[in-house]
Structure 1
């Protein structure tokens, strides 16, 4: 019954359609800031895709195999964004032994996460994106995100309209609820986003602090926290929640419960 309710609520939000022109000002500030328990900053983007004609990129088998060769020598030599966050993906998927498993990467401008997963033994990886890709590697495939309303590009962006998603104050929490429904029991979720003091940076992203982070983790058990290739203590995270200078991308390894 709960699963039905989750998807019914999302369907009602999705009826509003894609957001082609995100509002310049934060709509419904009280809802987005949890009645001012979250800060509100402004950093506006319009990265909606107006047309996908001629936008396809190709990730060939030769290209992916070349990246795998680089990782086989040194994972840190792979060209990637968010240097510390990226290495956290490699370290976490290696520690939690994804050999022989199939998984999905949600949101991918370059295939660094896919390559790290394959390097750590993943059997098959599906890339889910708003921009179309042609992928010819036999251990990879592509799904167009517009055809998959159950999955968002990056959770910290969900509901802000930056990438054309419907405006929704709890869009990120809905995505976590849907992921919880889709994962098998004890399935793993490797989740990375900015962590610090609770902030809505409209419409760029959210920063997750002690309030919203707890809401995001409902139905999951926290196993480990990574920063780059290092495991981070929960005590360190309490410092992050109180010190804006420590805000950064952290990766959480979560296990589905219930």
Structure 2
């Protein structure tokens, strides 16, 4: 009984810490524990492998599914950004607050400096980090050749990541991104899009295409893609509702 309680506590902790697509449901959890102990019993009956005498209990209760779980937004946008970076081949790329995992992979092909309010604890050759805010970037005006900020701007000013509440946080962040990018420079940028400008407090904002392009009115569109559900599209469709807009933009001269 003590062993079962220990396994249960560890499972609940792992479940809550994971980025599972499942909603926590006690009955489902009990069913999966029944499966877990059956599997454990099957393992013990399958043979006595003396190379592995010690068993640590580490229940993975929701991986026995018949498909590979993916978060489609990051799957599509990170692949899209990688393709463009490989095509551009900048001498050094700068990223503001995007996925550290993605930038870590890309840094093995292109030197990358990441800026974030939360320090990265891991080190990797070719990946550099500076602590900073998207509202006050540690770069001179018109100084960067390429820049990315993927699914970041929509959070600014909503307090989700410990930042100060600001009704114009997203707009101020875009002004700062534009400031540091040099004329002719390229930014890879993504935000949630919807049929109207909307706040999903305190997760993120969603934008219309018109509003995004108005905020980047001094930029040329090199590429734009839209993710709705499980597919990518070439055009913004407000009737599809919530999605993600991906924009490759080039800074024009004033």
TM-score above 0.5, yes or no: yes
SS of residue paired to 2:84: helix
TM-score (norm 1): 0.56
| TM-aligned CA distance change 1:215 to 1:87, over 3 Å | same
In terms of Rg, which structure is larger?
2
Q: CA deviation at 1:256?
A: 0.9
Alignment of 1:60-71 (within 5 A): none
- The Cα of 1:156 is off from its aligned counterpart by 0.7
Partner of 2:169: 171
Pairwise CA distance, 1:86 = 1.8
Q: Which residue does the alignment assign to 2:94?
A: 104
Is 1:241 the equivalent of 2:238? yes
Distance in 1 between the 2:170 and 2:75 partners? Answer: 24
Task: Report deviation, 1:84.
Answer: 1.5
Equivalent residue number for residue 214 of structure 2: 215
Tell me, in whole angstroms, the C-alpha distance in 1 between the residues paired with 2:113 and 2:72: 19
Native 8 Å contact 1:227 1:250 kept in 2: yes
TM-score (norm 2): 0.57
- What residue is the counterpart of 1:55 in the other structure? none
Alignment partner of 2:115: what SS? strand
CA drift of 1:186 comes to 0.9
Q: Distance in 2 between matches of 1:118 and 1:80?
A: 23
- 1:231: Cα distance to partner? 8.2
Displacement of 1:217: 1.6
Q: Is the 8 A contact 1:90 1:117 kept in 2?
A: no
Q: Counterparts of 1:202 and 1:155 in 2: how far apart (Å)?
A: 14
Counterpart of 2:51? Answer: none
Q: Distance in 2 between matches of 1:159 and 1:241?
A: 25
Other structure's SS at 1:184 match? strand
Structure-2 separation of matches of 1:156 and 1:136: 27
* Pairing 1:253–2:245 present: no
Post-superposition Cα deviations, 1:25-56, rounded to whole Å, max 9, x if no partner, equal xxxxxxxxxxxxxxxxxxxxxxxxxxxxxxxx
Cα 1:202–1:136, aligned 2, differ >3 Å: closer, same or farther?
closer
- Between the aligned partners of 2:71 and 2:161, the Cα distance in structure 1 is 24
Give the 5 Å matches for 1:45-56. none
- The equivalences for 1:49-198 within 5 A come to 82-95=74-87, 97-99=88-90, 101-116=91-106, 118-119=108-109, 122=110, 124-145=111-132, 149-151=135-137, 154-197=152-195, 198=197
Count of residue correspondences: 168
Quote the Cα distance in structure 2 between the aligned partners of 1:81 and 1:117: 21
Distance 1:224 1:177 in 2: 20
Shift of 1:253: 0.2
For residues 143 and 81 of structure 1, what CA distance do their matches in structure 2 show? Answer: 26
Which residues of structure 1 form unaligned runs of 5+?
1-77
1:91 CA displacement: 2.1
Distance 2:194 2:156 in 1: 18
CA deviation map 1:46-75 (0-9, x unaligned): xxxxxxxxxxxxxxxxxxxxxxxxxxxxxx
